[in-house]
Amino acid sequence: MAYRDYQHFLDTLKAKNELKVITEPLSPYLEITEVADRVMKAQGPALLFQNPVGPPHRLGTPNPQSAVLNNPSIDPISRPQGSHAYAYPVAINTMGTRKRMSLALSCDDYEEHAERIAALLKPEIPNGPAEALKSLPKLLELKNAPPKPVKNALCQEIVLQGDDIDLTKLPILTCWPEDGGPFITLPLVFTHDPNTGKRNVGMYRVQLHNKNTCGMHWQMHKTGMRHMEDAGAQKKRIEVAVCLGGDPVYNFAAISPLPPGIDEILFAGFLRRERVQTVKCKTVDVKVPADCEFVIEGYIDPNERQLEGPFGDHTGYYSLAGQFPVLHVTAVTMREKPVYPATIVGQPPMEDGWMGKAVERIFLPMIQLTVPEIVDMNLPVEATFHNVAFVKIKKKYPGHAYKVMNAIWGLGGLSFTKFVYVFDEDINVHDLGEVLFRIGANCDPGRDTLHSRGPVDQLDHASVAEGFGGKIGFDCTHKWPGENGFARDYPKLITMSPDVVAKIDSLWPKLGL
């Protein structure tokens, strides 16, 4: 079932006892984060803060060591006394468990979408009319994928332009004490390729600089940055729309590692089994989902930079302040009585861990299409996903593990992986106990490692350079005779006889154990 809009999703969570309404007045400055952090780490419910209150947004930071204070274009202000009531409730942790992440994707369990994708990626030629009819439902699923333009939209019930624009009225979170200011943390950022016109939807944090300008955190590897650079080569500004809310499937589409040329809104339509209605923005030539809560329209000059950050990031550390593009806001549109969607990131586990897990499971069939020997993989939440990969393969020849390591380092977002551990197919890579046992039992550090270098996440503060660093792979498979200089017989793993296991299984209830 596709959601009509974001508040329909919240109503569904409430009906399933997955949403807790908080009436206590709490501030977007740190206080909401502290509550949400505790709840996320306890696998608690989604939260709706009905009364966000506090002082006006601090457009700067109290930390005297922060680089933000050295930026002459931002006037840091001390936190004023008194209270300010925000007009919009704040929703957070709406995707913070497997169940809610699945609900966000309009299914009972998000593995269902992996099965749908796998079926589409491996079509079989029908042997006759009967088989052709059986395959028809798979093709009909694609019928509802393309977006549907509309003229009237929920997200444009209220339109603010000119002096009426004031982003400081939104309950934008300042998440951590040394953050450079308030950050929009769950944005859908829409741009178009200036060469081809193709749309991109990404999730890039947006820092509030003042009432009508923001910092856009486009990292060097991101598509939004490519679009801006190409616009700059043509000496043009790039138009941008930042959306908040709508069907939560849009958030997943925005973080999905889609193949080049696959539109995120098309993919969202496939996931929700219903076309996404889109509407043209009021001041920029960008089409956005019609059911959003807020839309921030504007433009970016490719030649303009302003200090953005620091920001308490998903790495568990503050990402440092740096020079990033500036979004100039030309309009803010919204529905009547909107809800402000947010998330927080920090030391895992957090809500984003479940978003990442859904990406891992749903896109495994696409990875297997390129590297078919991969049976399963686990990107541990505790390692913030892009740092560590546990991979199991169906080993076919000596050195097979090394082939897989190199393949992973050439695959989209997986190319950022720093540590790759490759195992045989008889292990559960989601069981840390099994993983550690096989690492210790089958890997010789002097023989079974592969060192490499390449791109890493720009937020990786441990790398030798920004966006570039080292990688290492570990062959934790059973070694074949003669493989990589292994000259001895390899021992067998201890296992019980299947007939004995079956007998004891049948007797187990009688043993009283």
Paired residues of 29 in beta bridges? 174
Confirm if 357 and 114 have CB atoms less than 8 A apart.
no
Which of these is catalytic: 5, 313, 457, 460?
Answer: 313
User: Residue ranges of the alpha helices (H) in 320-411?
Assistant: 351-362, 364-370, 400-408
Q: How far is CA 217 from CA 92, 202, 299, 328, 459, in A?
A: 21, 11, 14, 14, 11
H-only helix segments in 149-220: none
Letter for the amino acid at 445? P
Burial (CB < 10 A; 0-12, 13-18, 19+), residue 2, is middle
Alpha helices by DSSP H, 189-278: 223-233, 249-255, 264-272
Which one-letter DSSP state was computed for residue 57? Answer: P
- Measure the CA–CA gap between 87 and 241, rounded to whole angstroms: 22
CB atoms within 10 A of CB 160: 17
**Cis peptide bond prior to 310, omega within 30° of 0:** yes
Instruction: Tell me how many helices (H) and strands (E) the chain has.
Output: 13, 27
Per-position b or e across 32-51, b if 16+ CB within 10 A of its CB = bbebbbebbeeebbbbbbee
**Cα–Cα distance for residue pair 34/36, rounded to 1 Å:** 6
Q: What are phi and psi of 365, to 5 degrees?
A: -60, -35
Q: Is 313 a catalytic residue?
A: yes
Angle, to 10 degrees, between the axis of helix 111-121 and the axis of helix 129-141? 130
Active site positions, annotated: 313
